[in-house]
């Protein structure tokens, strides 16, 4: 008997994020069908957008997937199952659809055709309320973004967006920071750059660093250390953020020297994390080439990735600019690259108009 897992093509593994997010926004490039037999697939209008929310999302179409669907359906968890269409050149139902008689599955003493077995499994999933979606795509645009790394300490959540930020370029010019003392946490090039940027608006900028030396490049260190409005707080970490008055805005920090153990009260009205970003690429699981920081590697000047037909746009592949407008621009690039790719494969398949 072939393996129990119903395979999905490489693209479909990206849907594993749904397990974490618990929701799904239907892709315009997807073909969806519910409660249909294996041989049929009804496509919704291309401009129709579905938003689906479920406690359980199942990706697969073999015995494992459908057994999970049956159990979760009977538990009234209302699962959604993505079964794929000709994923890895195999029809929904997985590897069993490629075999004839299955003689080692309990309950069928005379054996059963693999396709018939999977039809029964699918119908049983549908009987208990599983919503089954058949999806396929000829191209894929990855635009899952990146998340700024944050530090957790007392008050860090309370004053987030109330004086604490992770983007000086985005927020530094806000009125609450103008002509006020500000602080940056970090020791790399980003921290040096953000500190220098903030001197345009703040009255003074502290760089808080947990070590006695920066890891930033010498040229970036020189710019920061040579700026009269910047002061470095070495060997220190933030232990607490507190407010000022009744406006519920950041008013200061409790900063601990990790060498002496002394705690200093640092009056600042803004704190900016500059300790890096984490691109949302863990779900790719090595299917695309990533750089040492986890960003998707694209061909310079394009959004092409290491896998033909897969494109990347936005912060998931941009560690330098990380701005909304640059993300939007690369999204446009990805759309055009995908369009050209689809025209190319259409011409190769004799499908061009």
Active site residues: 167, 170-171
Q: Report the alpha-carbon distance of residue 58 to residue 36 in Å, rounded.
A: 17
Q: Residues 189, 274: contact at Cβ < 8 Å?
A: no
**Nearest CA among 137, 114, 274 for reference residue 209:** 274
| Residues 5 and 29 sit within 8 Å (Cβ to Cβ) | no
| Helix, strand, or coil (residue 70) | helix
Contact 82, 15 (CB under 8 A): yes
Residue 135 three-state SS: coil
Q: Is the dihedral of CA 297, 301, 302, 304 positive or negative?
A: negative
Q: Are the C-beta atoms of residues 216 and 187 closer than 8 Å to each other?
A: yes
CA distance 35 to 47: 22
Q: Which helix (H) or strand (E) holds 270?
A: strand 270-273
Structure tokens at 178: 């103008």
Q: Going along 212-248, which residue ranges are E strands?
A: 230-233, 236-244
Strand, helix or coil at 132? Answer: strand
How far does the chain reach from its first CA to its final CA, in angstroms? 44
- Residue whose tokens read 């345009």: 200
Distances (CA, A) of 63 to 8, 92, 96, 125: 14, 11, 9, 11
């Amino acid at each position: 008997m072939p393996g129990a897992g119903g395979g999905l093509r490489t693209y479909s593994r990206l849907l594993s994020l749904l397990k974490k997010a618990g929701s799904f926004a239907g892709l315009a490039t997807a073909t969806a069908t519910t409660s249909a037999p294996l041989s049929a697939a009804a496509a919704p209008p291309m401009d129709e957008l579905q938003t689906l929310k479920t406690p359980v999302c199942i990706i697969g179409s073999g015995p494992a997937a459908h057994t999970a669907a049956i159990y979760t359906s009977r538990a009234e968890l209302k699962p959604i199952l993505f079964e794929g269409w000709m994923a890895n050149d195999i029809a929904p139902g997985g590897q069993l659809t490629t075999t004839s008689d299955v003689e080692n599955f309990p309950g069928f003493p005379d054996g059963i055709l693999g396709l018939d077995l999977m039809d029964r499994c699918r119908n049983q999933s549908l009987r208990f309320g599983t919503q089954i979606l058949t999806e396929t795509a000829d191209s894929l645009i990855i635009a899952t973004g990146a998340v700024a790394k944050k530090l957790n300490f007392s008050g860090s959540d309370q004053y987030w967006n109330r004086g604490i930020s992770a983007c000086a370029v985005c927020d530094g010019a806000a009125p609450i920071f103008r002509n006020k003392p500000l602080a940056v946490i970090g020791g790399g090039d980003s921290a040096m750059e953000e500190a220098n940027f903030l001197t345009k608006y703040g009255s003074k900028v502290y760089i808080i660093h947990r070590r006695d030396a920066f890891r930033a490049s010498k040229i970036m260190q020189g710019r920061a250390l040579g700026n009269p409005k910047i002061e470095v707080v070495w060997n220190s970490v933030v232990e607490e953020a507190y407010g000022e008055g009744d406006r519920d805005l950041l008013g200061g920090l409790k900063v601990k020297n990790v060498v002496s153990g002394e705690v200093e009260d640092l009056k600042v009205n803004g704190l900016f994390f500059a300790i890096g970003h984490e691109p949302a690429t863990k779900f790719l699981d090595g299917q695309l080439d990533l750089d040492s920081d986890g960003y998707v590697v694209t061909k310079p000047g394009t959004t092409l990735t290491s896998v033909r037909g897969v494109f990347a746009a936005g912060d998931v592949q941009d560690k330098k600019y990380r701005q909304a407008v640059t993300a939007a621009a690369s999204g446009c690039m990805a759309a055009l690259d995908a369009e050209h790719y689809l025209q190319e494969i259409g011409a190769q398949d004799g499908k061009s108009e």
